[in-house]
Amino acid sequence: MRRRVGKGSAYQGPFLISGLQVGIIGVVILITLLISAWNAIDLRKVLDHSTEEYLNDVTMHMAGEIGNTMHHKSEDLAMISEFAAGYLPDSFGAGEDTAELQNFLEEKAGVLEFNFLTVIDRQGKMVHTEVPETIGKAELKGMAELDCVRAAFKGRTGTSYLGGQEIIYSVPVYGGDGEKSVEYVMVGIRSKEKMQNMIASKSFDGQSLSCIIDSSGKVILSPTDLKPFLQLDDIFKKSKDGKVVSEIDEMRKNMRRGTGGILAFTSTHQDELYLSYDALGVNDWVLLTIIPSDLIAGSSEGSIWRFFLILIFVMAVFFIFLIKVYRFFSTGRRELERYAFEDHVTGGMNQAAFCLKYEELACKMAPSSNCIVMMNVKGFKMVNERFGIEGGNEMLRHIHRVLQRHIKPSDDEFAARNESDNFFLCLRDAEPARIRARLRDIITEVNAFSGSEAPRHPVAFRQGACIIEHPGEEITILQDHARLAEQSVEKKAGEECVFYDESFVKRLKWEEEMNELFEESLRSRHFRVYLQPKVSPRTGEAEGAEALVRWQHPERGVICPSDFIPLFERNGKICRLDVYVFREVCALMAKWERMGKRLIPVSVNLSRQHFREPGFLEEFSGIAKQYRVRTEMLEFELTESIFLDEEQIDVVKDSIHRMHALGFTCSLDDFGSGFSSLGLLKEFDVDALKLDRLFFLDMHSEKARDVIACLMELAKKLNVKTVAEGIEEPEQVEYLRQVNCDMIQGYVYARPMPADAFEEKYVRGIMV
């Protein structure tokens, strides 16, 4: 899986929530809310519809009930009128006894709940019960003229009303002798209160209001509170809302047709109201009922809104939670990216980021157009030792900044610190000369230290590079190639960048072979110990010798130490080889002792790899004991590079003490070949100092001669013996004698030689 790294990088872990996911969830929440809202509206419509149906039912039922009651009252009146015929006098003229009829009427009015009962003759004369206060004298007088009374004289029963909203029922009274002409009419009046009780709603918690009107809109019977109906009047007459006007028109038509209906409207007080109407079946009268809309739909609508609000709240909480989780993970992701891809010292890319960046860009690379360069700071431990860890880190940051200035991101170039003092660069160039020139510029700028707080300590680099021939190749393999090239660079200052090529593959193969041959050669004693004498320039006598290993392979011939020692140093095999050489030396010395020869001290080289195992000296001392060789006759040569290894300093110090405790001596080998410091002599208790041949290459220079003289003097003062290595010319010997060098090891006296040759030439009998 490829991931993007660098600025604006997006590390997409499988367990993390992305902004896109949050967006999608947000949209899903929004859609859910919209669907819920749509559902709520739909539910509201269904509810409205069922409310209307319910209201219609209730009004129809009430209208039917009221109509029936009115019919019953008419029937009651008709029944009384039949009985009343028996009490009728001949006429209502003066002198006629109407007392009996009056009594009858009084009695029946009480029983059948009429407030007023009267019988009227064609002349308008009346016999009646007591006149209630609500009926005025004029009304009483005009009663005979009422339409319904006239209709009754024509044989029709009628219902009408008086101004005070009393309902009048009128029936014809037929004479007892079977005559068919109507001479009398009976009129019954029911008071307003009784009617109001009748229409007072028993539904809707008593919160609805009903009234009876005729088709022209005239109020026949109103409830106690007329206000809503008065508002209705306002709306009916003044409303300009097209919908309301057409609904009212429709209502009027329905009322005239005698059918019912329902109408929703907003009162002048902004109350939502329902108006339900239905014909009573009496005249053109209609029952109107007004109900506040929230009375019915209110509670369920409230529930809908409550549900809706809770839904919004839950969704909002969920969404906020999601955003929080997203924020938490995105900061976590940034942290993670920082830890995973940022170098904690330089703040630039680390190895992981370098690899990912390469993977990202590899597909765009043309073959053999880019290269990977490794830059390894030489002796960086020295910087750390001198300037402390913070000084070292500042130096790494300084190098990083210079690299950043030189690479061209527009050409997809990038650089990273790999580990400790190693930097890797990916450059868009495959021409070694140009690359070397660029690297030279970089190193020059690093050493200029302009505007930098890094310690002004000159730094050199070992550089190896590898041209990317196949961009699809694993980056770690390309880095290994650059590293191999870098490791092949001689330990000389100012060395140019080495490019990886086929010879490295051959070398790798060869090294593999060497490794395979090692075990067998060790068993078969293909490793031979050669000895080179250390001669005193004063006496010309060999006062010591150095054991140097040679690999004499039966098929491959003699293999030089410089070919296999570095390899075995890298893979740790050197330790077993050193023990082998030490055992051979002990065996040799034991033999010489047995032969009664005069022993001279023999030194063996001790690789730095031994110091990884703090108790390693015990094995050497055990071998010496086994061969009964006096340990004073044995010396360990330690290369100076070992003293620069910060982590091993204490182990080295302890080991030198232990060597002395066991009786061995030790010398500091190759002094002057690298970063030698005189401080080492003071710090480490060595017995001899082996000056590298580099010191003596230019003996003509006075300065070089003075340095040598000074060193000799200093060593004398510190009671450290001096050995000059690689001396080839007699003139060198002459000068070394003058400056009191203790011993000389070099071709001028002898090359390293097989043990028996050495024995013959330099090992003498005690008596000789």
Among 429, 445, 543, 669, the residue binding ligand C2E under the rule CB under 6 A is 669
CB of 736 vs ligand C2E, minimal distance in Å: 13
From CA 265, how far away is CA 249, in angstroms rounded?
A: 14
- Which CB sits closer to ligand C2E, 105 or 604? 604
Could you give the angle at which helices 617-626 and 574-594 cross, rounded to 10 degrees?
Answer: 20
CB 119 within 8 A of CB 84: yes
Q: Does 746 bind ligand C2E (CB under 6 A)?
A: yes
* Nearest of 579, 578, 574, 580 to residue 525 by alpha carbon: 580
Binding partner of residue 85 among ligand C2E, Ca ion, none, CB cut-off 5 to 8 Å per kind: none
Q: Binding to ligand C2E by residue 655, rule CB under 6 A? A: no
Structure tokens at 728: 């080839």
User: Interface with ligand C2E by CB under 6 A: which range of 65-73, 83-91, 327-335, 745-753?
Assistant: 745-753
d(CA 269, CA 235): 11
Residue with Cβ nearer Ca ion (293 or 605): 605
Among 313-321, 368-376, 655-663, 724-732, the segment contacting ligand C2E (CB under 6 A): 724-732
Shortest reach from residue 439's CB to ligand C2E, in Å: 30
Minimum distance from CB of 614 to ligand C2E (Å)? 18
Q: Which of residues 574-603 bind ligand C2E (CB under 6 A)?
A: 574, 578, 581
> Site for ligand C2E (CB under 6 A): which residue of 644, 727, 741, 755?
727
Q: Which of 433, 560 has the CB closer to ligand C2E? A: 560
Please check whether residue 107 is in contact with residue 172, taking contact to mean a CB–CB distance below 8 angstroms.
no
* Smallest gap from residue 427 Cβ to Ca ion (A): 38
Residue 726 as a binder of ligand C2E (CB under 6 A): the answer is yes
Rounded to an integer, what distance in angstroms lies between the CA atom of residue 767 and that of residue 457? Answer: 58
Structure tokens at 1: 């899986």
Q: How far is the CB of 485 from ligand C2E (least distance, A)?
A: 23
- Note whether 605 binds ligand C2E by CB under 6 A: yes
The one among 52, 301, 584, 670 contacting Ca ion by CB under 5 A: 670
Does 561 contact ligand C2E by CB under 6 A?
A: yes
C-alpha to C-alpha distance for 472 and 214, rounded to whole angstroms: 98
Parallel, antiparallel, or unpaired: how do β-strands 167-174 and 158-161 relate? antiparallel
- 163 within 8 A of 129, measured Cβ to Cβ: no
What is d(CA 191, CA 90) in angstroms, rounded to the nearest whole number? Answer: 31
Rg of the chain over all Cα atoms, to the nearest angstrom: 62
Contact present, 395 and 387 (Cβ < 8 Å): yes
Task: Report the residue number, 108 or 721, with the smaller CB distance to Ca ion.
Answer: 721
CA end-to-end distance (rounded Å), the chain: 80
Contacts of 527 (CB under 8 A, 6+ apart): 521, 549, 550, 551, 552, 577, 580, 581
Return the residues of window 722-741 that contact Ca ion according to CB under 5 A.
725
Out of 175, 728, 740, 759, name the contact with ligand C2E by CB under 6 A.
728
What's the per-residue H, E or C state across 498-530? Answer: EECCHHHHHHHHHHHHHHHHHHHHHHCCCEEEE
Decide which of Ca ion, ligand C2E, none touches 728; Cβ closer than 5 to 8 Å per partner kind. Answer: ligand C2E
**CA–CA separation, 542 vs 761, rounded Å?**
10
| # residues near ligand C2E by CB under 6 A | 24
364, with CB counted inside 10 A (0-12, 13-18, 19+), is exposed
Contact call for residue 605 and Ca ion (CB under 5 A): yes
Are 486 and 374 within 8 A, CB to CB? Answer: yes
Residue entry with tokens 């967006």: 23
* 3-state SS, residue 288: strand
**Which amino acid is located at 460 in the chain?**
A
User: Is 565 a binder of ligand C2E (CB under 6 A)?
Assistant: yes
- Nearest distance, CB of residue 436 and ligand C2E, angstroms: 29
x-or-dash string of contact with ligand C2E, 615-654, rule CB under 6 A: ----------------------x-----------------
Segment interacting with Ca ion, rule: CB under 5 A, options 302-310, 420-428, 483-491, 597-605: 597-605
Least distance CB 611 / Ca ion (angstroms): 16
How many residues make contact with Ca ion (CB under 5 A)? 5
| Angstrom distances, CA of residue 722 to CA of 527, 670, 719 | 29, 12, 10
Which of 543, 670, 687, 742 is in the footprint of ligand C2E by CB under 6 A? Answer: 670
String marking each residue 501-540 x if it binds ligand C2E according to CB under 6 A:
-------------------------------x--------
Q: Which C-beta is closer to ligand C2E: that of 429 or that of 546?
A: 546
Residues that bind Ca ion (CB under 5 A): 605, 637, 669-670, 725
Residues that bind ligand C2E (CB under 6 A): 532, 548-549, 560-562, 565, 574, 578, 581, 605, 607, 637, 669-670, 693, 725-728, 745-747, 752
